[in-house]
Structure 1
Amino acid sequence: MTANTALKSYLEVRRSIPSFQMGEPGPSTEEIIEMLTLARRVPDHGKLAPWRFIVYRGEERERVSRELSEVAIANKPDISDEMRKVEETRFTRAPLVIGVVSTAAPHVKIPVWEQQLSAGAVCLNLIMAANAIGYSSNWITEWYAFDKAVYPILGVKEEEQVAGFIHIGTAQVPPTERARPELADIVTFSGETDVL
């Protein structure tokens, strides 16, 4: 199988695994460095590298989960026991969580939107890099990705934005397929009719 055929085969079946369906083993330090090295190879107009990574592993995941849950429960003291458990395990479901942080800022030539898109490309590249090394992954944004009040807990600066938290580990169950949009519903050939 050629490299191009292997990539096509991968993209035909690529599927995220929910973080609560991941477990050990997680990536080693060497594998994390390899994934981040691959993930940074994205379109980046102006070579700004308008993003950075935060690696959460080991006890740090527990600290972040604990502190985020304290904020969530303080904000909604009457949440259900089920939601309380969800909040208490935000960063401990998978062995590794990598935050992709957009550092996009006004630039004389490069629009902020393009810089943010580059951060999104990093998230997808990181998912694919994790899969290429043999791990499952999931790109997650939840309330804490958008609440700047908890950014100090996460190590994110006030002027930054979270592009996503990539949860990485070993799948504990086989992946299942989900419905994808029909091409006829999402594709337009400009100036042409009845193509699909």
Structure 2
Amino acid sequence: MHEEDMPVNAALKSYLETRRSTPALQMIEPGPSRPEIMEMLMLASRVPDHGKLAPWRFVVYAGAERARISQELANVAVARNPGMTDEMIAVEKNRLTRAPVVIAVVSRAAPHVKIPEWEQVLSAGAVCLNLSMAAQAMGYGSSWLTEWFAFDESVSSLLGVKTEEKIAGFIHIGTPKMHPGERSRPDLADIVSFAGE
């Protein structure tokens, strides 16, 4: 098929041309309902997945659980850093409450006889982006974050994550207070090469 014969999905192209994360602190209620969350997760799951392993899963933090877990995270942070200022402690207490809903994408990548573990990890990353885009396609703002507690095994059980799993990202979802505006993007001349040229 020649380029001029290929159909263009104008809405999708426009979305990709303007896609932008909404900072978690710029999200407010309402957040997505449970049926909307389930629809987002169904859409997020439609990613390349060599071997059909589904090497990822989701943990949804909503309602009062966000504040409870955030307080526990703050307790851990203060125990490790007793000199934290009140402002720093306040940040820790709000880790999962900045957006109405936070969804952890949990990587279950593991050695496999046929599927490289790296491909499984990449699949989890694709889920993070798909979930972020699904939320935006449904009219919400979203932001893919990790932060210290994504990498701290001592809080894995608090977050509902098993020791052999890793957090690929926390997708924060809510209603944007404002349009986040544009940001600079890499110059294609700096990041593109054509093999043989």
TM-score, normalised via structure 1 length: 0.95
* 1:12 match: secondary structure: helix
RMSD over equivalenced CA pairs, Å = 1.0
2:3 equivalent in structure 1: none
Higher deviation after alignment, 81-90 or 164-173: 81-90
> Which of the numbers 50, 53, 56 marks the counterpart of 2:58?
53
1:113-146 alpha-carbon deviations (Å, 9 max, x no partner)? 0000000000000001000110000000000000
1:115 equivalent in structure 2: 120
Q: CA deviation at 1:158?
A: 0.1
Structure 1, gaps ≥5 residues long? none
In the alignment, the residues of structure 1 paired with residue 22 and residue 88 of structure 2 have an alpha-carbon distance, to the nearest angstrom, of 20
Aligned length: 191
In the alignment, the residues of structure 2 paired with residue 27 and residue 101 of structure 1 have an alpha-carbon distance, to the nearest angstrom, of 20
Q: CA deviation at 1:80?
A: 2.2
Q: CA deviation at 1:155?
A: 0.4
> Which of the numbers 172, 176, 182 marks the counterpart of 1:177?
182
1:186 equivalent in structure 2: 191
Q: Where in structure 2 are the equivalents of 1:57-136 lying within 5 Å? A: 57-136=62-141
Aligned amino acid, residue 43 of structure 1: P
Q: Does 1:33 align with 2:38?
A: yes
Check conservation: 2:101, 2:173, Cα contact below 8 A. yes
Check conservation: 2:105, 2:124, Cα contact below 8 A. yes
1:154 equivalent in structure 2: 159
Aligned amino acid, residue 53 of structure 1: F
In the alignment, the residues of structure 1 paired with residue 138 and residue 98 of structure 2 have an alpha-carbon distance, to the nearest angstrom, of 20
Identical columns (%):
68
Q: CA deviation at 1:3?
A: 7.5
> Which of the numbers 10, 22, 25 marks the counterpart of 2:15?
10
1:65-95 alpha-carbon deviations (Å, 9 max, x no partner)? 0100100111111122221111110000100
In the alignment, the residues of structure 2 paired with residue 154 and residue 48 of structure 1 have an alpha-carbon distance, to the nearest angstrom, of 23
TM-score, normalised via structure 2 length: 0.95
> Which of the numbers 149, 152, 166 marks the counterpart of 1:144?
149
In the alignment, the residues of structure 2 paired with residue 80 and residue 190 of structure 1 have an alpha-carbon distance, to the nearest angstrom, of 53
Structure 2, gaps ≥5 residues long? 1-6
